[in-house]
Copies of this chain bind each other. A is one copy, B any other.
Amino acid sequence: MQTIEELLESKNIRVTAMRLLIYKFLAEKQIAVTLSDIENAFEKADRTTLYRTVKTFEEKDIVHQIDDGTGITKYALCEKGCNCELETDLHLHFHCNNCNETVCLTEHKIPQIKVPDGFVSENVNLVVKGICDKCSGQ
């Protein structure tokens, strides 16, 4: 089990107080968050800093970006098994129409999608919308 500091260093990211805080915030949340979510959690920090921090994390494959169809970009920590950089490792995302939360269904890989002749598939984004387990009462 490596510390957050070690993780950042292993990715060649300088360890700063801000980055540690943002990482911890993302780690605590089980759901994908927007920039505004982070902004609200750290009122003292500037939006730009958060924006760039998340962008850095993204470039280093620490978080991945999620487009869940709400029109607002969301971010979530990559898990151990989440090799976002690999096209083959594409899990799906679930957006709850009730609580408006988006979660990664890391276990659920996206099935192979067939495309017509002449089309070359490089990447797939799959968002399932509906009611999440918390809201469905099960």
Using CB atoms and an 8 Å cutoff, list the residues of chain A in contact with chain B: 67, 69, 71, 73, 92, 94, 97, 105, 107-108, 111, 113-134, 136, 138
Q: Are B108 and A133 in contact (CB under 8 A)?
A: no
A119 contact from B71, B73, B116, B136, Cβ within 8 A = B136
Name the B residues within 8 Å of A105 (CB-CB). Answer: 115-116
Measured CB to CB, the nearest residue on chain B to A131 is B120
Contacts of A125 in B (CB 8 A): 69, 125-127, 129
Q: Which residue of B lies closest to A97 (CB)?
A: B122
Min Cβ gap A70→B in Å is: 9
11 additional contacts (CB under 8 A) given A113-B128, A123-B128: A92-B113, A97-B123, A105-B115, A108-B116, A111-B113, A117-B133, A121-B128, A123-B129, A124-B126, A124-B129, A125-B127
